[in-house]
């Protein structure tokens, strides 16, 4: 229920989220109703089950990891603030950002978008994508017709291309460097409807 | 070499059947004179006079022997010939798949027409006439409904309804634009005296234009294998092929009627327009009514499973016929009937009926279309044509121009309303890939004879069909690939770029789906709520299907899953490679591995491997791309099975404990230490429209997002009924429980009351499952409670107080006493 949902979201909350994430008022209310419709237990927070009920995520190869990205370390509940914070990464980058806080980087900056993607690889949060982690993600993204050796050599090549300091893993700065020519802002943006 | 040797027997078979067909026609030509007995042609009338002149000596003693072999052809002629034609066409279809590459490069309609041409050539050389079966009534009453039902039934409903505006916009307005534009242009061309077609008036031109604007872009969807799949494009193509059949037929009837009028004035035009809308909307209304009635009927068919599919066919056909009776758009009727019916019926009928329905619809549709194309090929050779270079060339030209223009203009208008606009490539694909389908030919062939230039129209239609199907159909793939190549050529990035960009695309697609951006949320939600409250109550049966059937299909599904697992684990044999990975990891840390040098050829090989095998985003709708086969989603199955595997392995790993846990990390979506909680949600989530009967058990659970609760009861049902498959299923059960237990033990996790109660509840459940009879009744009772619409759920929030609010298992356990 649209009206019921927005009544549970107070104006001050909306203002705070607006400041933190940069979404507009209508976008926030819209996403709140989506949050609410996902929240089957109606307790103001989403669990992993709630996410897994979305069928498209179930057949997305990276579905589990995407869901995981919404939950902060060690927690299995995400409230609306956290939900919006994660979604803010996907806001399109605008050229003119009004009331931009010069000290804090906006959540949807290129850097943060890349960090989001990086974190999908790097599950143990050691700021390095090891060969194993890379292989895991590769295997998830690739069908069953690729043998281990092929995948292994692809992973080796990937690391070889990116690795500049020779530690056989990809650090975040190396990750950024490798993708410098890619239009990350466009690839990791969703046009949120008003 | 291999190609030749495999094609030869097929050719032989085809030719032999062609000969057989010819024989039947040969028999046809001389049907009546065939004697019914093999008696020597003794004058039968001789016996007559015998009675009048008994003593007359007979010249020879006549004794009629019992005929051993008699040939009674006229008796079976019609069904026999039909069967032969159908069989011949089907053999042709088998033949196409002999050489795999053909089907990629050449659309199937091409091949069908070619075979028709060959048979036609054979027949022509023997001076045979094709059987005059394709009359107007036969086509409209028998051949068209299956084709339309086929397209309508396999339309992906969810994306369709989310994009219904775009689809209708393109199909209806597009077809109107095309027909009127081409008609007027052709009329203008007709004024040129040089072409000698001045006798074709405006109405006839419009009629002809409406015939050739029935475009079917589905055939080229398979070509659009781009990384950036625009799901909208598929839906538009599908919807177009479906709805512009309807529009075309309506326009055809309209212009047909108008063409007979000697004088057309403004009132007629106005009435024509009015009639157009009336007919279309009337058809839709009809279809809706019939769809609901059919759904309602299937609510009561639990005891008569064998004839469940019959209801579907009869109701849709009835809708079609009644609409024909009232002269409203029968195609719209049958389309809306199928779309409405499908959703509710697939919940009510048994799995087998569901499969039967799909297969039969697909079969009938394919046969019908095949026959029409086949016939087209034959007719091309055997009829005498009226060829007019100017008219035909201009037809083709204008058709192309107007289609392209139409697509561009329509896209420009509608792009601002869409989340993802169509880019140039999409537009080009849509316009260039618009092949003319079976309906075009049939409509032309069944033009009334009052039209003077009927032969010219038929020739022109055949010409445009052949042009589009052969030339456009075959050339579109290279052109698209050229466009793709040009786009990606200067971006020949590194392997890194390729992998990471695909990762990002998957992420974005996932988050988009998460946000549910596609729909006009409020409208859809409102409809779904209304649906859940009222409609489903009336139309869906409350009781669950019989346990044996569920168990059987669960068994089949698991068998399937096991098979896929076997192939996965066979190729990627777990133990040895895991060990090697482990060792490699160790060796990596200890010794510096010398850098492998990669040759350029290795690189290109890698690029190729990746581009061919990496999952493309949102393949959901792509599984529908081939019109001639049942949709499949083996890829989704792969992913889901893989997740299932990773759950199981995480489970086993945890139970073994220790350092070995690192070993089985290979297949995980998430590393150990995090719970996936995917147990039942994974199982329940399957894609729609899988030909495999087993997976359809869960199809019902997928579709409506706001109805996720019913997914859990389904899983619990199936879990309860897996007594025959103790071993497999107990693992699945176990994972929930063990994981839940683990979760309560794990210190890093927030120990909330929910996780504790979660561990308790599954054990409760499990104990109830221990006694099979109880287990069976209990979920059944649950189902009854849970199937009833949301009002029954509202008492739930007060229950939240007792720990584990979001734990559905606990909730269900609480429902238990209320049922009994």
pLDDT in tens, B189-210: 888 777 777 777 777 888 888 8
Determine the pLDDT at residue A148: 86
DSSP helix/strand/coil, B614: strand
Interface test with A, best of B418, B492, B500, B602 (most A CBs within 10 A): B500
**Separation in Å, CA A71 to CA B226, B361, B485, B739:** 32, 46, 40, 19
Residue listed under structure tokens 């103001």: A44
3-state secondary structure B631-666: CCCHHHHHHHHHHHHHHHHHHHHHHHCCCHHHHHHH
Looking at chain A from residue 21 to 40, which residues have their Cβ under 8 Å from any Cβ of chain B? 30-31, 33-34, 37, 40
Kindly determine whether residue B515 and residue A144, on different chains, have CB atoms separated by under 8 Å: no
- CA–CA distance, B755 with B746 (Å, rounded to integer): 11
Residue A128 has pLDDT above 80, yes or no: yes
CB B313 within 8 A of CB B360: yes
What is the pLDDT at residue B317?
A: 93
List the end-to-end C-alpha distance of chain B, in Å, as a whole number: 71
Strand, helix or coil for residue B53: coil
CA atoms within 13 A on the CB side of B608: 6
How is residue B164 written in tokens?
């219904």
H or E stretch including B293?
A: helix B266-298
DSSP H helices in B131-265: 136-138, 144-153, 157-162, 164-168, 174-190, 202-212, 231-260
pLDDT reading at A92 higher than 90: no
Count of C-beta atoms within a 10 Å radius of residue B526: 13
What are residue A78's DSSP bridge partners? Answer: A46
Phi, psi of B639 (to 5 degrees): -60, -45
Q: 3-state class of B411 per DSSP?
A: helix
| Distant-in-sequence, close-in-space partners of B810: CB < 8 Å, separation ≥ 6 | B757, B758, B760, B761, B802, B803, B804
Among B522, B603, B640, the residue with its CB nearest the CB of A2 is B522
Of B613, B668, B711, the CB nearest to A143: B613
Cα(B542)–Cα(B535) distance, rounded to whole angstroms? 13
Closest CA to B233 of B411, B400, B404, B430: B430
Q: What CA–CA distance (Å, rounded) separates A45 from B805?
A: 11
Single pTM value for the model: 0.62
Q: Looking at the DSSP assignment, which residues form a beta bridge with residue A46?
A: A78
A40:B806 CB<8 A: yes
In chain B, which residues have their Cβ closer than 8 Å to the Cβ of A180? none
User: Taking CA atoms, what residue in A is nearest to B679?
Assistant: A49
| Residue A105 reports pLDDT greater than 70 | yes
Q: How far, in Å, CA of B784 to CA of B804, rounded?
A: 23
Contacts of B497 (CB under 8 A, 6+ apart): A178, A179, A181, A182, B491
Inter-chain touch B495–A157, beta carbons under 8 Å: yes
Please give the structure tokens belonging to residue B796. Answer: 């739930």
Contact yes or no for B353/B305 (Cβ under 8 A) = yes
- Residues with Cβ within 8 Å of residue B570, at least 6 apart in sequence: none
Residues of A in contact with B572 (CB under 8 A): 144, 147-148
Does residue A112 belong to the interface with chain B, where contact is any CB pair within 8 Å? no
- Structure tokens given for B243: 């709805």
Conformational region of residue B673, where left means phi above 0, alpha means psi within -120 to 50, and beta covers everything else: left
The rounded distance, in Å, linking the Cα atoms of B769 and B733 is 10
The residue of chain A nearest to residue B705, with distances taken between CA atoms, is A54
Q: What is the pLDDT of residue B485?
A: 57
For residue range B436-495, list pLDDT tens digits in order: 877 788 888 878 777 777 888 888 888 888 888 888 878 877 777 777 655 554 445 677
Residue B658 to residue B706: CA distance in whole angstroms: 42
Inter-chain touch B509–A60, beta carbons under 8 Å: yes
Q: Which two tokens stand for residue A6?
A: 């927005």
Q: State the pairing for strand pair A128-129/A170-171.
A: antiparallel
CA atoms within 13 A on the CB side of A123: 22
Determine contact, residues B110/B470, Cβ cutoff 8 Å: yes
3-class DSSP assignment, residue B593: coil
Q: A154–B567: do the CB atoms touch at under 8 Å?
A: no
Chain A positions in Cβ-Cβ contact with residue B503 (cut-off 8 Å): 62, 117, 120-121, 137, 141
pLDDT given at position B468: 85
Closest Cα in chain A, distance from residue B572 (Å):
6
- Note whether B650 and B671 are within 8 A (CB): no
Does B513 contact A54 at a Cβ distance shorter than 8 Å? yes
Where chain B has pLDDT below 70, the residues are 1-62, 103-104, 127-134, 217-232, 259-264, 418-421, 484-493, 517-526, 529, 541-564, 566-598, 616-637, 640-641, 643-820
CATH 1.10.3720.10 corresponds to the domain A12-89: no
CB contact under 8 A, B585 and A131: yes
Q: What is the pLDDT of residue B644?
A: 64
Segments making up each domain of chain A, as ranges? 12-89, 107-188
Pair of tokens at residue B565 = 């697992």
Angstroms from B161 CA to nearest CA on chain A: 16
User: What residue in B sits closest to A185 (Cα-Cα)?
Assistant: B504
Closest CA to B510 of A194, A177, A64, A45: A64
Q: Which of A28, A34, A60 to mutate to test the interface with B (most CBs of B within 10 A)?
A: A60
pLDDT tens digits, one per residue of A133-180: 888 888 888 877 788 888 888 888 888 888 888 888 888 888 888 888
Q: Under an 8 A CB cutoff, do A87 and B515 touch?
A: yes
- At B703 the three-state DSSP class reads coil
Do B414 and B489 form a contact (C-beta atoms < 8 A)? no
Count of Cβ atoms closer than 10 Å to residue B633 Cβ: 23
Residue B164's φ and ψ, nearest 5 degrees, are -65, -35
> Distances from the Cα of B631 to the Cαs of B155, B625, B638, B692, in angstroms?
10, 8, 15, 10
Is B572 in contact with A37 (Cβ distance < 8 A)?
no
Contact list in A for residue B802 (CB cut-off 8 A) is none
Query: Is A170:A162 a contact under the CB 8 Å cutoff?
Result: yes
Residue B567: which of A40, A144, A175 has the nearest Cβ?
A144
Which H/E stretch holds residue B23? Answer: helix B2-29
Q: How far apart, in whole angstroms, are the C-alpha atoms of residue B746 and residue B748?
A: 6
CA distance B807 to B800: 10
As a CATH number, domain A107-188 is: 1.10.238.10
What residues are paired with B320 via a beta bridge? none
CB < 8 Å to A147, chain B: 571-572
* Residue among B500, B567, B633 whose CB faces A179 most closely: B500
Helix axes B202-212, B454-466, angle to 10 degrees: 30
Q: Which has the closest alpha carbon to B30: B74, B86, B60? A: B74
Q: Under 8 Å CB-to-CB from B32, ≥6 apart: which residues?
A: B74
Q: Give chain A as a 3 state SS string.
A: CHHHHHHCCCHHHHHHHHHHHCCCHHHHHHHHHHHHHHCCCCCCEECHHHHHCCHHHHCCCCHHHHHHHHCCCCCCCEEHHHHHHHHHCCCCCCCCCCCCCCCCCCCCCHHHHHHHHHHHHCCCCCCEECHHHHHHHHHHHECCCCCHHHHHHHHHHHHHHHCCCCCCCEEHHHHHHHCCCCCHHHHCCCCCCC
| Per-residue tokens: B426 | 């999409």
Alpha-carbon distances, residue B58 vs B55, B64, B767 (angstroms): 9, 14, 96
Give the residue on B whose Cα is nearest the Cα of A60: B510
Interface test with A, best of B514, B602, B744 (most A CBs within 10 A): B514
A164 touching B (Cβ < 8 Å): no
* Separation CA B120–CA B112 (nearest Å): 12
Q: How many CB atoms lie within 10 A of CB A75?
A: 14
Q: What are phi and psi of A186, to 5 degrees?
A: -80, -35
């Amino acid at each position: 229920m649209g009206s019921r949902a927005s009544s549970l979201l107070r104006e001050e909350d909306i203002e705070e989220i607006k400041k933190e994430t940069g979404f507009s008022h209508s976008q926030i209310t819209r996403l709140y109703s989506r949050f609410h419709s996902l929240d089957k237990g109606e307790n103001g927070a989403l669990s992993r089950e709630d996410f897994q009920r979305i069928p498209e995520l179930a057949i997305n190869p990276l579905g589990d990891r995407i869901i995981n990205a919404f939950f902060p370390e060690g927690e299995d509940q995400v409230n609306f603030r956290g939900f919006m914070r994660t979604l803010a990464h996907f806001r399109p980058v605008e050229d003119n950002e009004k009331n931009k806080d010069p000290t804090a980087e906006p959540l949807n900056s290129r850097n943060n978008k890349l960090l989001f993607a990086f974190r999908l690889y790097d599950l143990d949060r050691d700021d390095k994508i090891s060969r194993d982690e890379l292989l895991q993600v590769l295997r998830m993204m690739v069908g069953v017709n690729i043998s281990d050796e092929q995948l292994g050599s692809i992973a080796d090549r990937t690391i070889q291309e990116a690795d500049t300091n020779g530690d056989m893993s990809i650090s975040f700065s190396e990750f950024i460097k490798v993708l410098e020519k890619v239009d990350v802002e466009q690839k990791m943006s969703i046009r949120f409807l008003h | 070499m291999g190609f030749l040797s495999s094609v030869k027997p097929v050719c032989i078979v085809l030719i032999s059947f062609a000969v057989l067909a010819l024989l039947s026609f040969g028999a046809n030509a001389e049907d009546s004179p065939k004697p019914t007995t093999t008696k020597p042609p003794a004058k039968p009338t001789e016996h007559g006079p015998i009675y009048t002149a008994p003593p007359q000596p007979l010249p020879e003693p006549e004794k009629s022997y019992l005929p051993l072999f008699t040939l009674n052809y006229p008796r079976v002629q019609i069904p026999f010939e039909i069967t032969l034609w159908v069989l011949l066409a089907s053999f042709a279809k088998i033949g196409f798949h002999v050489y795999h590459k053909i089907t990629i490069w050449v659309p199937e309609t091409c091949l069908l027409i070619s075979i028709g041409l060959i048979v036609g050539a054979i027949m022509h050389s023997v001076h045979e006439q094709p059987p005059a079966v394709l009359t107007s009534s036969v086509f409209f009453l028998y051949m068209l409904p299956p084709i339309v039902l086929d397209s309508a039934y396999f339309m992906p409903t969810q994306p369709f309804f989310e994009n219904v505006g775009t689809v209708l916009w393109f199909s209806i307005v597009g077809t109107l634009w095309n027909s009127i534009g081409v008609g007027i242009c052709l009329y203008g061309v007709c004024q040129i005296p040089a072409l000698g077609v001045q006798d074709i008036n405006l109405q006839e031109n419009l009629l002809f234009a409406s015939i050739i604007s029935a475009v079917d872009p589905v055939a080229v969807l398979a070509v659009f294998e781009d990384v950036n799949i625009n799901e909208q494009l598929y839906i538009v193509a599908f919807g177009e092929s479906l709805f512009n059949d309807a529009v075309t037929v309506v326009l055809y009837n309209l212009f047909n009627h108008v063409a007979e009028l000697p004088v057309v004035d403004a009132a007629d035009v106005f009435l024509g327009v009015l009639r157009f809308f009336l007919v279309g909307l009337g058809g839709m209304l009809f279809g809706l009514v019939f769809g609901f009635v059919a759904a309602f009927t299937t609510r009561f068919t639990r005891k008569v499973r064998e004839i469940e599919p019959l209801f579907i066919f009869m109701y849709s056909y009835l809708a079609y016929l009644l609409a024909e009776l009232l002269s409203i758009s029968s195609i719209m009727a049958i389309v809306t009937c199928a779309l409405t019916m499908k959703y509710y019926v697939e919940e009510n009928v048994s799995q087998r009926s569901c499969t039967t329905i799909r297969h039969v619809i697909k079969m009938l549709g394919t046969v019908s279309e095949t026959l029409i194309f086949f016939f087209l090929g034959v007719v091309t050779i055997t009829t005498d044509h009226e060829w007019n270079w100017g008219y035909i060339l201009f037809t083709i030209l204008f058709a192309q121009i107007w289609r392209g223009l139409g697509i561009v203009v329509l896209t420009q208008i509608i792009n601002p309303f869409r989340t993802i606009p169509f880019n140039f490539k999409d537009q080009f694909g849509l316009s260039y890939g618009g092949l003319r389908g079976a309906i075009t030919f049939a409509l032309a062939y069944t033009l009334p004879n009052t039209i003077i230039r009927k032969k010219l129209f038929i020739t022109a239609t055949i010409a445009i069909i052949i042009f589009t199907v052969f030339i456009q159909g075959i050339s579109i793939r290279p052109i698209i690939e050229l466009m793709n190549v040009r786009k990606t050529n200067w971006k020949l990035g590194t392997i890194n770029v390729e992998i990471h960009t695909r990762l990002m695309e998957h992420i974005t697609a996932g988050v988009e789906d998460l946000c549910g951006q596609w729909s006009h949320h409020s409208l859809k939600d409102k409809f779904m709520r209304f649906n859940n409250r009222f409609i489903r109550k009336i139309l869906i049966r409350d009781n669950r299907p019989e346990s044996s059937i569920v168990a059987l299909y669960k068994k089949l599904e698991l068998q399937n899953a096991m098979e896929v697992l076997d192939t996965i684990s066979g190729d990627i044999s777990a133990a040895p490679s895991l060990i090697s990975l482990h060792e490699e990891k160790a060796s990596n840390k200890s010794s510096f591995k010398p850098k492998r040098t990669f040759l350029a050829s290795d690189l290109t090989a890698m690029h190729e491997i990746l581009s061919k095998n990496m999952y493309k985003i949102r393949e959901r709708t792509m599984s529908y791309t081939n019109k001639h086969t049942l949709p499949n989603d083996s890829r989704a199955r792969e992913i889901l099975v893989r997740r299932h595997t990773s759950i199981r392995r995480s489970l086993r790993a945890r139970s073994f404990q220790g350092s070995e846990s690192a070993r089985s990390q290979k297949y995980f979506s998430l590393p150990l230490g995090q719970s996936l909680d995917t147990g039942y949600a994974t199982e329940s989530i399957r894609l729609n429209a899988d030909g495999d009967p087993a997976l359809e058990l869960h199809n019902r659970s997928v579709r409506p997002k706001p109805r996720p609760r019913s997914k859990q009861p389904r899983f619990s049902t199936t879990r309860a009924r897996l007594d025959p498959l103790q071993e497999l299923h107990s693992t699945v059960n176990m994972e929930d429980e063990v994981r839940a237990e683990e979760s309560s033990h794990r210190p890093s996790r927030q120990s909330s009351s929910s996780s504790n109660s979660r561990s308790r509840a599954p054990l409760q459940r499990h104990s109830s499952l221990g006694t099979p009879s109880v287990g069976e009744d209990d979920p059944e009772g649950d189902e009854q409670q849970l199937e009833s619409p949301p009002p029954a759920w509202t008492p739930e929030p007060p229950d939240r107080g007792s720990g584990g609010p979001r734990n559905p298992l606990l909730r269900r356990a609480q429902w238990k006493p209320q049922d009994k």
